[in-house]
């Protein structure tokens, strides 16, 4: 049953519509992420939901009760917020900041009962903040401040929590921690959470629903697995140079559009780093033979000029080998990523052999010696360094 719903919302400032046609429907314990480039209207939507700015049109309901019809005080019991704005309360401890979350629940004088104190402690424990309780809020790091503000919102014991870019000031350790906290709040405490995010890959890991916003319009709304596609991201974020790999959840810079003089044999999960190093040096390359379920396959498609791929779990067929051999003929150098050559990977062994017979140098990351006269390296960097050197020599 729907818990929090928005129907045909129009948000904006002073009668100027910033985003139109917002519709969403959340159950209790669901997480909604707003995604979109800067200036698309995410903040405006959030500010409207949290009543910082006035709703222009449409209706927001909690269990069919219109959010705009209730008083500030009542609203506080339904919804708590965590904002991006930096606050600077003088002479306040972290504990006092969190304690303010009890505001809608305490009496006229703000007296904290034992129950209140218990909830405050629990909220702090939730964010791993007990150590910070008696420290001055002002002197905490950005990440610590963020956690305390989240604790405060938890402390308010509202069913709905709205967070505006909560991961922004956090480095990776705290980003991960934060997402865990949010996930646990949704799962264990059935909190309905709305947040805006910059990091697309995080959204797919944590959101139950996603609102994709582009230029003041709702591009799409739905479950992340349905709507976060490479194409959608490309469009919404206007990526014209590079891609967002939604499978991996990572950006890739565009491939080098030149004639490839390097061939990288294999994947097996070991080739991506080689692809990236080459790409970074501006060196075009071809790659194969990769199985379609290989982790390197996806990246190869984006970075490699040509990718020779074989279906999963079958032996490498003859025509694939022929294709690859053709490419190898035209290459100056071959790189062996130390992919497994056993079983279905035997085809790659043939390729290496072929390359040697063609008189091509084969640089390899293989630890064991397979007796084909490969030039071995322990790490990628020196190998790439030599590639670069070699290509320069060849040019001159």
Partner 1 sequence: MKKSIRFKIVFVALVVFLAYTIMLNLVSGSISLSYKDIIDVILGNRIFTELEYNILFKIRIPRIISAILFGIALSISGFLLQTFFKNPIVGPFVLGISSGARLFVGLFILSNISIGFIESPLITIFLAAAVGSLLSMLLVLLFARKVDNISILVVVGMMIGYIASAGTDFMIAFANEHEIAALVSWSMGSFSGIGWNVLRLSAVIIIPTVVLVFFLSKPLEAYLLGENYAKSMGIDIKSFRLVLIILSSILSACVTAFAGPISFVGIAVPHIARLSIKTSNPKILVPALVLLGASFCLLADYFARTLFSPTELSISTVTSVMGAPIVIWLMVSRRKKV
Select from 14, 16, 108, 173 the one that contacts partner 1 (CB under 8 A). Answer: 108
Q: Which stretch binds partner 1 (CB under 8 A): 15-23, 89-97, 253-261, 301-309?
A: 89-97
Select from 5, 55, 92, 130 the one that contacts partner 1 (CB under 8 A). Answer: 92
Q: Which positions from 131 through 170 interact with partner 1, judged by CB under 8 A?
A: 156
- Residue 211, classed as helix, strand or coil, is strand
Select from 83, 181, 271, 352 the one that contacts partner 1 (CB under 8 A). Answer: 83
**DSSP letter for each residue of 139-177:** GS-HHHHHHHHHHHHHHTT-SEEEEESTTTT--HHHHHH
| Smallest separation, CB 152 to partner 1 (Å) | 8
Pick 194 or 321: Cβ nearer partner 1: 194
Select from 35, 60, 79, 206 the one that contacts partner 1 (CB under 8 A). Answer: 79
Select from 31, 34, 81, 256 the one that contacts partner 1 (CB under 8 A). Answer: 81
Select from 17, 55, 100, 277 the one that contacts partner 1 (CB under 8 A). Answer: 100
Pick 93 or 272: Cβ nearer partner 1: 93
| Smallest separation, CB 19 to partner 1 (Å) | 20
Name the residue among 37, 39, 35 with its Cα closest to residue 240. Answer: 37
| Smallest separation, CB 78 to partner 1 (Å) | 11
| Smallest separation, CB 74 to partner 1 (Å) | 8
Q: Is 29 in the site for partner 1 (CB under 8 A)?
A: no
Side by side, the strands of the sheet bearing 79-82 are: 79-82, 160-164, 192-196, 31-35, 209-214, 217-222
- Residue 58, classed as helix, strand or coil, is strand
**R_g (Cα) of the chain, nearest Å:** 27
- Residue 126, classed as helix, strand or coil, is helix
Spatial neighbors of 28 by CB under 8 A, at least 6 apart, are: 3, 159, 190, 192
In the shown chain, the binding pattern of residues 39 to 58 toward partner 1, with x for contact by CB under 8 A and - for none, equals -----------xxx------
Q: Is 69 in the site for partner 1 (CB under 8 A)?
A: no
For 11, half-sphere exposure in the C-beta direction (CA atoms, 13 angstrom radius) is 26
Given a contact cutoff of 8 angstroms between Cβ atoms, the answer to whether 186 and 155 are in contact is no
Q: Which stretch binds partner 1 (CB under 8 A): 71-79, 226-234, 248-256, 375-383?
A: 71-79
Select from 37, 58, 104, 143 the one that contacts partner 1 (CB under 8 A). Answer: 104
CA distance 208 to 243: 24
Q: Is 114 in the site for partner 1 (CB under 8 A)?
A: no
Q: Beta 65-66 vs 160-164: how paired, if at all?
A: unpaired
Q: Is 96 in the site for partner 1 (CB under 8 A)?
A: yes
Q: How far apart are the first and last CA of the chain?
A: 71
Given a contact cutoff of 8 angstroms between Cβ atoms, the answer to whether 76 and 102 are in contact is no
| Smallest separation, CB 91 to partner 1 (Å) | 4
Q: How many residues does the chain have?
A: 396
Q: Which stretch binds partner 1 (CB under 8 A): 34-42, 68-76, 224-232, 318-326?
A: 68-76
Side by side, the strands of the sheet bearing 65-66 are: 16-26, 4-13, 55-62, 65-66
Select from 90, 172, 342, 393 the one that contacts partner 1 (CB under 8 A). Answer: 90
Given a contact cutoff of 8 angstroms between Cβ atoms, the answer to whether 255 and 302 are in contact is yes
- 337 burial level (CB within 10 Å; 0-12, 13-18, 19+): buried
Q: Is 184 in the site for partner 1 (CB under 8 A)?
A: no
Given a contact cutoff of 8 angstroms between Cβ atoms, the answer to whether 208 and 31 are in contact is yes
Size, binding site for partner 1 by CB under 8 A: 32
Q: Is 87 in the site for partner 1 (CB under 8 A)?
A: yes
| Smallest separation, CB 160 to partner 1 (Å) | 11
Question: 81 has which bridge partners?
Answer: 162
Pick 149 or 256: Cβ nearer partner 1: 149
Q: Is 85 in the site for partner 1 (CB under 8 A)?
A: yes
| Smallest separation, CB 98 to partner 1 (Å) | 11
Q: Applying CB under 8 A, which residues contact partner 1?
A: 50-52, 71-77, 79-81, 83, 85, 87-92, 96-97, 100-101, 103-104, 106, 108-110, 156
């Amino acid at each position: 049953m729907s818990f929090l719903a928005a129907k045909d919302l129009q948000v904006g400032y002073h009668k100027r519509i910033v985003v139109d046609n917002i519709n969403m429907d959340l159950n209790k314990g669901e997480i909604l992420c707003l995604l979109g480039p800067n200036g698309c209207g995410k903040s405006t939507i959030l500010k409207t939901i949290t009543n910082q700015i006035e709703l222009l049109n449409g209706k927001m309901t909690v269990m069919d009760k219109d959010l705009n019809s209730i008083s500030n005080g009542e609203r506080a019991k339904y919804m708590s917020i965590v904002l991006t704005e930096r606050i600077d309360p003088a002479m306040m401890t972290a504990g006092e900041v969190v304690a303010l979350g009890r505001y809608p629940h305490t009496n006229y004088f703000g007296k904290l009962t034992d129950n209140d104190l218990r909830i405050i402690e629990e909220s702090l424990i939730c964010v791993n903040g007990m150590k910070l309780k008696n420290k001055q809020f002002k002197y905490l790091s950005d990440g610590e401040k963020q956690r305390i503000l989240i604790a405060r919102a938890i402390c308010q014991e509202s069913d709905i929590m709205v967070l505006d870019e909560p991961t922004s000031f956090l480095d990776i350790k705290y980003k991960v921690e934060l997402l865990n906290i949010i996930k646990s709040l949704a799962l264990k405490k059935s909190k309905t959470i709305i947040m805006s995010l910059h990091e697309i890959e995080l959204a797919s890991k944590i959101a139950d629903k996603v609102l994709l916003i582009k230029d003041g319009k709702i591009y799409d709304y739905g479950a992340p697995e349905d709507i976060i596609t490479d194409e959608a991201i490309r469009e919404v974020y206007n990526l014209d140079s590079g891609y967002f790999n939604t499978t991996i959840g990572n950006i890739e810079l565009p491939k080098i559009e030149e004639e490839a003089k390097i061939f990288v044999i294999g994947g097996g999960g070991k080739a991506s780093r080689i692809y990236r190093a080459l790409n970074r040096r501006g060196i075009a390359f071809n790659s194969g033979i990769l199985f379609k379920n290989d982790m390197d396959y996806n990246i190869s498609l984006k970075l490699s000029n040509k990718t020779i791929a074989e279906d999963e779990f079958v032996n490498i067929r003859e025509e694939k080998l022929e294709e690859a051999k053709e490419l190898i003929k035209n290459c100056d150098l071959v790189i062996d990523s130390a992919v497994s050559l056993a079983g279905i990977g035997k085809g790659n062994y043939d390729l290496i052999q072929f390359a040697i017979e063609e008189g091509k140098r084969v640089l390899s990351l293989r630890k064991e010696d397979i007796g084909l006269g490969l030039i071995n390296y322990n790490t990628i960097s020196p190998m790439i360094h030599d590639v670069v050197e070699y290509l320069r020599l060849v040019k001159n």
